[in-house]
Amino acid sequence: MSYNYQGKYMNDHQAGFTLIELMISLVLGLIVSAAVIQVYLINVKTSSIQASGSELQDASVFGLQQLEKSIRLANLGNPTTRIDGTTPNGGIVLTGLNIGVPAAPTPYPNTGYLTRRAGDSAVGANGWTGISNTNTNSDQLTIQYINITGAPMTDCEGAVAAVNDIVIERYFLRQATGVTSTGTIKDLVLACDAGRVNTVGGIATVTPSSDPRNFGQAGQEFIVNVDQFKVLLGAQYTTGANAGQIIYLPSSAYSAITTGKPAVTSVKIGLIVHGSTPIIGSAEQSEFALLGQLPADNKLKTDASSKKKVRSTYETTTLLRNARVVNINTSL
């Protein structure tokens, strides 16, 4: 009997991957995995940007429009339509004279509650500090109006303003309530502090001291996620060669005019706001042009601990309907 060893071993074949096939499989797997991860990262990035954009839109649609609405009330009920630093019950509160406090013998002490600009003096608890998240200090806008609508109103803090109440409101930046930040970039909000003015002059005091109608408190958060708040006053000349012309200038520059002072007829507001949702894989804008300032004048402070956010600027010009002036040209 014979046995064919050659036939047996020649018909047994080994099955499996060669080294080259295995390497090709691994490379293809890595390519597919990388593509999936890339799609995921793009989706996450897009989602974060859209979320931040939506938050910015909320600040624009709701916060900024409400701010404009409040500013339009300035000088309501005042029989004097010309506004400057001496106008009794003037719609833009620049000095103590605007709230009925004479300059002598004792001027109004709490200058931190008036319309302020970088370099101005500021006295008063919870007063303006100029805090911002850029290399330029923020401003403060203080307005005043009388409720002559014949029905109760609500001020910017939600408190009821009775008929004929003289309401004073100030808008300024401060840290968000309950937030303590050790970094350079702070969690700032645009806050509003409202109060009442006595008919005989001076700030009214309401009992208890926690009543929101008391002026000089920390105020309510009006717009969140704000990095900068700037104000320009629109001043219109009523006499002289420049009669009828309007210039926009900071409150400090306006107050420095001593002769031929123009009347305040409008207000320009500038805001830098950011979304609260951090963004992934995008460069963060760090310089912003605002109300005619160069981008370098509003450069975001350096903070390694701060997460990247979508930021945008908003500007608006509000005409003061209750502070119009008329120029009569007699040369025609």
Q: Is the pLDDT confidence value at 11 over 60?
A: no
Residue 15 has what pLDDT? 62
Output the pLDDT for position 62. 76
Helices (H) and strands (E) in the chain, counts: 4, 10
Contact call for residues 235 and 260 (beta carbons, < 8 A)? no
| Beta strands 311-319; 166-175: pairing state | unpaired
pTM of the predicted protein model: 0.84
Higher pLDDT, 119 or 233: 233
pLDDT category of residue 119 using cuts at 50, 70 and 90: confident
pLDDT (average), residues 181-186: 86
Average pLDDT (184-207) is 95
- pLDDT, mean of residues 31-52: 73
The answer to which of 33-42, 117-126, 143-152, 293-302 has the lowest mean pLDDT is 33-42
Task: Give per-residue pLDDT as tens, 224-257.
Answer: 999 999 999 999 988 878 888 899 999 999 999 9
- Residue 176: predicted pLDDT: 93
Tokens representing 230?
Answer: 């700037």
Q: What is the pLDDT of residue 101?
A: 95
- Concatenated DSSP letters of 5-44: HHHHHHT----S--HHHHHHHHHHHHHHHHHHHHHHHHHH
Point out which residues pair with 144 in neighbouring strands. 168
The answer, yes or no, to whether residue 2 has pLDDT greater than 60, is no
pLDDT of amino acid 10: 54
pLDDT band at 44 (very low <50, low <70, confident <90, very high): low
| pLDDT at 279 (0 to 100) | 73
Question: What's the pLDDT score for residue 179?
Answer: 82
Which is higher by pLDDT, 197 or 39?
197
Is the model more confident about 276 or about 124? 124
Average pLDDT over residues 294-303: 92
Peptide bond into 105 cis (omega under 30): yes
136 is written with which tokens? 């330029």
Q: What is the mean pLDDT of the chain?
A: 87
How far apart CA 193 and CA 125 sit, in angstroms, is: 12
